[in-house]
Amino acid sequence: MEDSTKHIHISDYDYNLPEERIAKHPKAVRDHSKLLVYDKGKISHTLFSDVTSFLPEDSLIIFNNTKVIQARLHFRKETGALIEIFCLEPWQPKSYECIFSQKERCEWLCLIGNRKKWKEGILSRKLTADGKSLTLSAERVGVSDNSDIIRFSWDDENVTFSEILSLVGELPIPPYLNRATEESDKRDYQTVYSKIDGSVAAPTAGLHFTEHVLAQIDARHIERNEITLHVGAGTFKPVKTESIEDHEMHSEYIFVPLQTIDALMRHNGECTCVGTTSVRTIESLYYIGLNMINHPDISEEGLKVEQWQPYAGTASVSEMDALKAIRDYMVRHQLQALHTSTQIIIAPGYRYHFVKRLITNFHMPKSTLLLLVSAFIGEDWRKVYQYALDNDFRFLSYGDSSILIP
């Protein structure tokens, strides 16, 4: 199966998306967006506020509770050149929790806008925190994976980096919106249940949920559970190679609480996932469990799911055994949550282990997200997308939603 998946041509996952169908702003009321319903081959639509009627009572639904950070920082050189620094992921300290509480200095892996104008030297800008003036500086100190390592420093030992971002950072809305970030995006580009700082892009399937819809979920005795996958800039990375074998999938940090493992075990390893990020996290658990069974003393860092691991032969381990291995490992190591990363690519040829229903938006042509959807509902993805185009659905991050039930 590995070879046939690797040789998939991304050009087979293309469709015509007119610019005017890309939603520039969300609906005024989140759950008034359209909901396409794909149920075992049948397609219809309604409003997102009706989504709970397609979820079985007493089932399990899993959300990604990551929170988008104001990751873009702007500096102006003495020459007048504007330099943008886009914080991608922590470098030193490596922990998201630690780096946001860091004082005086920290290092991030970053993308640099207008990089050719910043060959050397230290950039600085003035800002005010709690009525006091301070200077924020940025210095390039290295390179890793084609990204720059930037050391930020500031001359106030009482101010955290989280406060720095909230004061002068800009929310990084998707580049395909082709507009500047607006004040309303600070609210609109976060889910109502976002909690854990770290993403540079929102898990957008969750943007449709309101407190009203969450209350409906509770009323149907559907168990709500949360994981964290911090969405990286790689989520916007187009597949530029003809064969997906040559496409390097981005790696993302994941955080899975013990209670999520327990919830999956209570529900016989079956769940509804909100968004492709939740899917990638939950499906990665099978291979994490497999790694633990094969290597009982493996470190958390060693648990990383590699891009092609799901396609390397057939595993005879059951889903429940994989979950049990994770639970036993966490209890043995006294872990309340599992911290690791995943590079998993889900494409046609992949066999889903835990996800039985998927709530997701409409994705870019020739994207890995479209491959994930195709792996879930097969060639019917074409019918789904054509139906959405024919019925005036809005596309991408601020667009409408779908629930897919194979």
One domain for residues 208 and 300 = yes
What's the pLDDT at 175? 86
Residue at 181 is within a domain: no
Distance CA 25, CA 181 (A): 11
Residue at 182 is within a domain: no
Torsion angle defined by CA atoms of residues 349, 353, 358 and 360, in that order, rounded to the nearest 10 degrees: -60
Q: CB pairs under 8 A, 24+ apart, for 347-350? A: 347/5, 347/8, 347/244, 347/371, 347/372, 347/374, 347/375, 348/5, 348/8, 348/374, 348/375, 348/378, 349/1, 349/2, 349/4, 349/5, 349/8, 349/311, 349/375, 350/5, 350/310, 350/311, 350/375
What's the pLDDT at 129? 84
Return the closest-CA partner of residue 237 out of 352, 147, 303, 143.
147
Least confident segment among 34-43, 299-308, 373-382: 299-308
Average predicted confidence (pLDDT) for the chain: 94
Residue at 271 is within a domain: yes
Structure tokens at 210: 């309101």
pTM given for the model: 0.94
- 396 secondary structure, DSSP code: S
One domain for residues 222 and 150 = no
Calculate what percentage of the chain has a pLDDT beyond 70.
98
What's the pLDDT at 1? 53
Whether the per-residue pLDDT at 313 is higher than 80: the answer is no
235 falls in which pLDDT band (50, 70, 90)? low
Mean local confidence (pLDDT), 285-301: 93
One domain for residues 357 and 237 = yes
One domain for residues 60 and 149 = no
One domain for residues 219 and 165 = no
| pLDDT single digits (tens) 67-126 | 999 999 999 998 889 999 999 999 999 999 999 999 999 999 999 999 899 988 999 999
Quote the number of domains for the chain.
2
Residue at 345 is within a domain: yes
One domain for residues 299 and 360 = yes
Mean local confidence (pLDDT), 236-242: 78
Of 141, 170, 199, the position where a domain reaches its end is: 170
Residue at 254 is within a domain: yes
Q: Alpha helix locations (H) across 255-310?
A: 258-266, 276-294
| pLDDT single digits (tens) 278-289 | 999 999 999 999
Residue at 179 is within a domain: no
Whether the per-residue pLDDT at 173 is higher than 70: the answer is yes
One domain for residues 53 and 102 = no
One domain for residues 209 and 277 = yes
What's the pLDDT at 384? 98
Q: Domain range holding 150?
A: 71-170
What's the pLDDT at 233? 72
One domain for residues 243 and 370 = yes
One domain for residues 191 and 106 = no
**Domain of residue 338, CATH code:** 3.40.1780.10
One domain for residues 260 and 395 = yes
Which range of 168-182, 223-237, 272-286 scores highest in mean pLDDT? It is 272-286
Distance CA 298, CA 290 (A): 11
One domain for residues 165 and 218 = no
Structure tokens at 371: 């491959």
What's the pLDDT at 70? 96
Residue at 176 is within a domain: no
Of 170, 198, 214, the position where a domain reaches its end is: 170
